[in-house]
A and B are shown apart, each in its own frame.
Chain A
Amino acid sequence: MEIVVCVKPVPDAETRLRTSADGTSLDIEAVKFVLAGYDESAVEQALLLKEANPGSKVHVVSAGPAPRTEEVLRASLALGCDQATWVEIAPGVAPDPLTAARALARAVSSAPHDLVLCGKQAGDDEAGVVGAALAESLGLPDFSAVLDLRWDPGSSRLRFQRATESGVEKWEAPLPCVVSLQQAWNDPRTAKLPAILKSRKLPIAKVPLEPLASSAGTTRPTKFELPPPRTGAKMIEFKTPEEAAQKLVRILKEEAKVFP
């Protein structure tokens, strides 16, 4: 099975968010970028499928600026991906998610792809659209919110569950298709030092970004706002648990007005 996994570098979860000088986006000065959490699960899932299905290959693809995109591709190679492709996007404004999906589609369409895996969403822009947009570009069906993914060679079907608003759905689908994983239910492996060292020398194929068709809609960030810092909790003083409960209920009703 030819497995493609799409990854994105995102600011580390512990990043202290600051607004850029022009007020339109996140200030990325001194921000540490890492492989997005959901994407880490997607890489793990790709590697598990490869291990369970001998002869499979995992091709990791990312679209974004230097150096962070190259770094997450190398991190994925160190984890065990076989091949990497980088669609280089000029630094500056982060690409609109649809632009990123189109860029990924260009890289994926020119390589073998039976199964394309994506994370559910990236922890920065939280758009959650890349998997479906990529599938539409490739003319493939896609499945989001997927849990528990298995390949059944007997029936040549992918079997999986989806956690949607209506409950847990069981599906089977032939390849090729695109799958966006719901959440980290697997326990992603960590790379070993020799593999990390080796990954620094592995080749990464580069694909240029194609200009957007003039008819295509796009989005442009105009403002990035941080909420006023929370000043810390108002502490409820009490002598008995019952008093604490009464005071809290009164506050929620009369002051916070959240309690019906």
Chain B
Amino acid sequence: MTGLTLVVGELHDGALSDATPEAVGVAQSLSGKEEVIGFLAGSSSRALAAGFGRYGVGRVVIVDDPRLDSAVAAVTAQLVAQAADSVGAELVVVGGTTFGRNLVARLGVRWNAAVATGVTALSRNGPSLEVRRPVFGGRATETRQLEGTHAAVAIRPHAFAAPVESAVSVTLTPIPADGIPPTFWAPKRLSVEAAPRGAGPTLTDASIVVSGGRGVRAAENFHLVEELATSLGAAVGASRAVTDAGWRPAGYQVGQTGKAVSPQLYIAVGISGAIQHLVGMVSSRVIVAINSDSSAPIFKVADYGIVGDLFQVVPALTAEIRRTRGQ
């Protein structure tokens, strides 16, 4: 597979999402800078296309149509396939968000692409592409060969660095949102309740996660975990024991039936380390466990352990971090 790559940009809070430059970086490392074309859809696509230019992408296909602001992935997939064909792209790269996964799945059928999601490495192997991706909650890694003439790849958030900025001017290629079946316009997005601002990074995006478990003992003690997280600029997670007990909502749960996270640093506070929890965090780069029971299974997967009373250790740790950061 040679030729051009289309990078599908995603908007977040009125700007290009973090995942977009990461996708540009992967695409540029695979082919030349000139061979990467951007794609943006929605009412702000014209204004935000310059965001691609910052990273050296000089051509962006846009669908400047307000209906795309709240369209289902089925619509975007159809337009991306059209755009990819019209520019002669053979590879589509997108950030591995909910939207990105949906998009590549649909391109697999509509555009006959070989599809991979959650990709942490992408390279050429002879005529085909090769991807590496974590499986089994990060307990293993698989390598796959993408076979066929087209491929669509969703990359794992934070797995790739954004390219160094080297601004170029951007040529826009507008395409219309035509030929979409009426059934794809029928669903209606009624409202979006944005994740509260200042609430810190989301669990799956964060580079540091601090999670609390049963050892925290009660909902009213969970602030200890949250204060530690705040001092680190980290997201807050919880074990199933915590969400089952209602100390924190289900959205906090890290584990097999919750979210899978793979931050640079994971701090487990008062979590014993049931397999249910481990599968959701074991692929974190560095794991720290704080637990009063030295035989807790969490210490088997942790890199660093503190056997001690979390009610003493955690406040001390928060204070130490605040001190070193001059907070």
Q: Quick check: A164 and B136 within 8 Å, CB to CB? A: no
Task: Tell me the residues in window 149-177 of chain A with beta carbons closer than 8 Å to chain B beta carbons.
Answer: 162-174, 177
Q: Quick check: B279 and A97 within 8 Å, CB to CB? A: no
Q: Quick check: A174 and B140 within 8 Å, CB to CB? A: no
CB within 8 A of A135: which of B106, B141, B143, B301?
B106
* Contact of B265 with A by CB under 8 A: yes
Q: Quick check: A164 and B193 within 8 Å, CB to CB? A: no
Q: Quick check: A129 and B104 within 8 Å, CB to CB? A: yes
User: Given A98-B109, A135-B106, does the pair A219, B145 have CB atoms closer than 8 Å?
Assistant: yes
Give Cα distance in the complex from A140 to B253, angstroms.
31
Chain B: how many interface residues by the 8 Å CB criterion?
A: 101
Q: Quick check: B190 and A171 within 8 Å, CB to CB? A: yes
Interface centre among B110, B189, B309 (most CB of A within 10 A): B189
* Contact of A192 with B by CB under 8 A: no
Closest residue of chain A to B102 (Cβ to Cβ) is A132
* Contact of B191 with A by CB under 8 A: yes
Q: Tally inter-chain residue pairs, CB-CB below 8 A.
A: 280
Interface string of B77-113 (1 = CB under 8 A from A): 1000000000000000000011101111110111011
| Binding site secondary structure of chain B | mixed
CB-CB < 8 A to B164: which residues of A?
Answer: none
Q: Quick check: B304 and A244 within 8 Å, CB to CB? A: no
Chain A: how many interface residues by the 8 Å CB criterion?
A: 84
| Binding site secondary structure of chain A | mixed
Give Cα distance in the complex from A248 to B269, angstroms.
14
Smallest CB-CB A-B distances: 7 pairs? A217-B148, A217-B114, A233-B305, A129-B105, A132-B105, A173-B187, A223-B143
Interface residues of B (CB under 8 A from A): 12-13, 17, 72-74, 77, 97-99, 101-106, 108-110, 112-118, 130-131, 133-137, 139-151, 181, 183-184, 186-195, 202, 205, 208, 250-251, 253, 256-260, 264-265, 275-276, 279, 285-289, 294, 299-309, 312-313, 315-317, 319-321, 324
- In the complex, besides A144-B101, A245-B313, 16 extra interface pairs with C-beta distance below 8 angstroms are A11-B136, A126-B117, A127-B117, A136-B110, A139-B181, A142-B74, A217-B113, A218-B148, A220-B145, A221-B144, A222-B130, A234-B304, A236-B305, A248-B288, A248-B320, A256-B265
